[in-house]
Chain A
């Protein structure tokens, strides 16, 4: 290797480092916040989520939820009201993320029970997987590096590889590895870990469509990392802006949701 060649490589390395440095001048927290804006509209909105559970690639179960989301101006996090729509045996059950807590309401028992974010909802989806959340509020982020990874459609994407640590008791996971496409801020992949450091789930974001004014992922594939024969595909549809009163996010409003 001649001196000229070595000098060129050093120059290329310096340029690369400089460019990377420029990119990383955008903090990890800012990247996650911009990705949150890709995933979630800023105004209050409604969407339906259909969860299809798979065992060894075969469809096993299907559930439908209606989700109502609105940002709490005091902390920048979304408050959520989720209603089970189907199947019939679960219809009318509700989950509330509000008042700094998660509540589950069953119309059969007419009682609200406080639950934890990791409590299972449907298939491989924990309650926290279905709720609309701004990750930048619940987690403290740092940049691990940049990587080129394949997305769910096997397309190569240049990504920031981010490390997220839970900063709030309502964060669903203790730690998250998060891959975000550089430039577009599209979420590509996530790996979710328990308090003990065990990998619980792998998520891929796909089906980017024009939704409420910009391109957003409308489907998340949630793979059970403990039993990899299990997966759930969460598909969002029927997005619409909706004015949601603050009282919807009070625990005592849960039995009242139908009384509109």
Chain B
């Protein structure tokens, strides 16, 4: 054999051994244990039609020292102990109907409420409706229904039924707040076929609009239809499967004589990223005008109250937008980054006017009530207070290779860069027990969107048992 042949042979031999070594090392990584045989027991215990859990949460809150615009009332509790039973279940009724129920019973003790008292018990009657399937493609639902729309995480311009519906959430994470809200009494029809779907919903007016609730005047056993059915509303939405990558959905919504248009679009970008856009638009007044109108209508503000800061009184076409990107890293952390716009919200000038009026007013001035009412109204309506904001969220499942899920988010005002940041940790002790911890920090100067709020930071510890 020539020298070249020997060299080639050796090369092949070495390569072969390298392949074999690589092979062996891969095989060594296979766990020696064999999975337990699959039995029906776990599946039967955890039905997808049912989720019931009992949770206890302890919260400590630190108030802001010396806020730039004094709060008209104390900011609320500094500690709270809350025990809640959360039930979501559906039951078959014959071959073509189901009954859906969703409720949360809260028992709470906090330093701004007497104990025991009826205020310590709050029931969130979220959903109760019957779903009937007259044909294979057609569904008719009637009752209290949580109808949600939107694909963004930080703000949902097309989630038209979100207004006034959020009840005492344990988390400030906007995506978690969607879980703790009241449904709307409505009649909904939906047709789903292989190429798309079409939904129609009508929610009747059942109650006069009511004043905004505070933490201390929530009723114990009351469905609070005044929060969800104070106006006639209807929604049409449809999605069409074009077979492409954009998955479009279009919405048409009407409330109080105003028609809103909306769309949800998303697009996959390779194996790890998704871009998405959620938009709605309508000819309507700005946040300041609608807040003052609502305050007058519900008697919270005097009948002749003028806006506490200058504002345009005429309607213009205003957009709400969430433009986002999600990306999953090789370490299995999913990041979302979003730009959020609410053209009806406070502009930079509005913020300057709000702070200037608040500082001028002095601690006993009735103007403070009106100024803070604008902020409370935005929160109650689940409407973004500021015109432009940024939102980012990170979710790490199986963090540090243990049964730990870490979630962090930050919502930042684009004008003054104040914001809210939250870090949550959920440790799954077992299939049925979860321990949770959460830290929330409001940051920014005294004269900023989030820095001016009554809360500086809060800490929460919880334990939950799933049945």
A binds B: yes
A residues with a Cβ closer than 8 A to B are 1, 48, 50, 52-55, 57-62, 64, 74, 83-89, 91-92, 98-102, 107-120, 123, 128, 147, 149-150, 152, 154, 166, 169-174, 189, 194-196, 198, 200, 202, 204, 219, 221, 223, 226-231, 233, 235, 237-238, 245-247, 249-253, 256-259
Known: A86-B42, A114-B276. A223 touches B193 (CB 8 A): no
**Is A119 touching B328 in the complex (CB atoms < 8 A)?**
yes
Q: Establish whether residues A221 and B330, one from each chain, have CB atoms under 8 Å apart when the complex forms.
A: no
- From A1, A54, A118, contact of B31 by CB (8 A): A54
B151 and A114: CB pair below 8 A? yes
Does chain A have a CB within 8 A of B247? yes
How many angstroms from the CA of A195 to the CA of B330 in the assembled complex?
9
Residues of chain B lying within 8 A (CB to CB) of residue A58: 33
Interchain nearest-CB distance for A112 vs B (Å): 7
Chain B nearest CB from A90 CB (Å) reads 8
Q: Is B326 an interface residue (CB 8 A)?
A: yes
Q: Are A92 and B270 in contact (CB under 8 A)?
A: no
Shortest Cβ distance from residue B396 to the other chain A in the assembled complex, whole angstroms: 9
CB-contact partner of A120 in B31, B98, B397, B402, under 8 A: B397
**A247 near B19: Cβ-Cβ < 8 Å:** no
Question: Residue A89 contacts which of B43, B53, B199, B402 (CB distance < 8 angstroms)?
Answer: B53
A17 to nearest B CB, angstroms?
15
Distance of A173 Cα from B271 Cα, bound (Å)? 6
Please name the residue on chain B nearest to A151 by beta carbon.
B27
**Do A57 and B268 have beta carbons less than 8 Å apart?**
no
Is B403's CB under 8 angstroms from A61's CB? yes
Q: What 1/0 mask marks residues of chain B from 428 to 450 whose CB sits below 8 Å from any chain A CB?
A: 10011010000000000000000
For chain B, the count of residues having a C-beta within 8 Å of the partner chain is: 83
Give the 8 A-B CB pairs with smallest separation, nearest first: A246-B194, A87-B431, A252-B197, A92-B48, A88-B466, A88-B46, A109-B178, A54-B31
Residue in B26, B137, B241, B266 whose CB lies within 8 Å of A114: B266
Contacts of B51 in A (CB 8 A): 88-89, 91-92, 107-108
Interface contact A198-B243, CB-CB below 8 Å: no
Partner of B247, one of A108, A202, A251: A251
Rounded to whole angstroms, the CA-CA distance of A189 and B19 in the bound complex is 14
Q: Is the CB of B26 within 8 A of A85?
A: no
Chain B 21-45 interface mask (CB, 8 Å, partner A; 1/0): 0011011011111011010001101
* B299 contacts the other chain (CB 8 A): no
Given A84-B48, A88-B432, A118-B271, list of 9 further CB < 8 A pairs?
A: A54-B33, A57-B33, A108-B179, A109-B175, A169-B245, A204-B26, A226-B330, A251-B239, A257-B48
| Contact call B266/A87, Cβ cutoff below 8 A | no
Residue of B nearest to A149 (CB): B23
Within B300-332, which residues are at the interface with A (CB < 8 Å)? 326-328, 330-332
B256, CB-defined interface residue at 8 Å = no
Shortest beta-carbon distance from A116 to chain B in Å: 5
The answer to whether the Cβ of B222 comes within 8 Å of any Cβ in the partner chain is: no
Verify if B192 is at the interface (C-beta below 8 Å from A): yes
Closest to A233 in B: B35
Bound-complex Cα distance A109 to B131 (A): 19
A111 touches B150 (CB 8 A): yes
How distant is the Cα of A227 from the Cα of B29 in the complex, in angstroms?
10
Chain B CB within 10 Å, residue with most, of A169, A196, A219? A169
**What residue of chain B has the Cβ atom nearest to residue A114's Cβ?**
B266
Interface of B with A (CB < 8 Å)? 1, 19, 23-24, 26-27, 29-33, 35-36, 38, 42-43, 45-51, 53, 88, 90, 98, 131, 133, 136-137, 139, 146, 148, 150-151, 153, 175-176, 178-179, 190, 192-194, 196-197, 199, 239, 241, 243-245, 247, 249, 266, 268-274, 276, 326-328, 330-332, 334, 397-398, 401-403, 428, 431-432, 434, 464, 466-467
A159 to chain B, nearest CB (A): 11
Is the pair A86, B243 in contact by a Cβ cutoff of 8 Å? no
CB-CB nearest in chain B for A61: B403
Q: Inside 8 A of A237's CB, which chain B residues have their CB?
A: 38
| Contact status B403-A60, CB under 8 Å | yes
CA distance A8 to B327 in the complex (A): 58
Whole-angstrom distance between the Cβ of A179 and the nearest chain B Cβ? 10
A101 pairs with B268, CB closer than 8 A: yes
Query: In the assembled complex, which residues on chain B have CB atoms less than 8 Å from the CB atom of A50?
Result: 35, 38
Inside 8 A of A204's CB, which chain B residues have their CB? 26-27, 30
- In the complex, are the beta carbons of A91 and B46 less than 8 A apart? yes
- The closest CB in chain B to the CB of A202 belongs to B26
Given A64-B42, A231-B31, verify A114-B247 contact (CB < 8 Å): yes
A88–B55 alpha-carbon span in the complex (Å)? 14
The minimal Cβ–Cβ distance linking A149 to chain B, given in whole angstroms, is 6
Tell me which residues across on chain B come within 8 A of A118, comparing CB atoms.
271-272, 328
Given A247-B137, A252-B190: A100 and B98 interface contact (C-beta under 8 Å): no
CB-defined contacts of A189 to chain B, threshold 8 Å? 26
- Whether A172 touches B271, Cβ cut-off 8 Å, given contacts A116-B328, A150-B27, is yes
Bound together, the chains give a CA A85 to CA B269 distance in angstroms of 30
Judge whether B148 and A198 touch: CB under 8 Å. Answer: no
A86, A89, A251, most chain B CB atoms within 10 A: A89
- A142: min CB distance to chain B, Å: 19
Cα(A128)–Cα(B328), bound, Å: 13
A196-B330, A226-B331 known; A252 vs B199 contact (CB < 8 Å): yes
The closest CB in chain A to the CB of B467 belongs to A88
The reply to whether A120 and B398 contact each other, CB–CB distance below 8 Å, is: yes
Bound CA span A231–B466, Å: 26
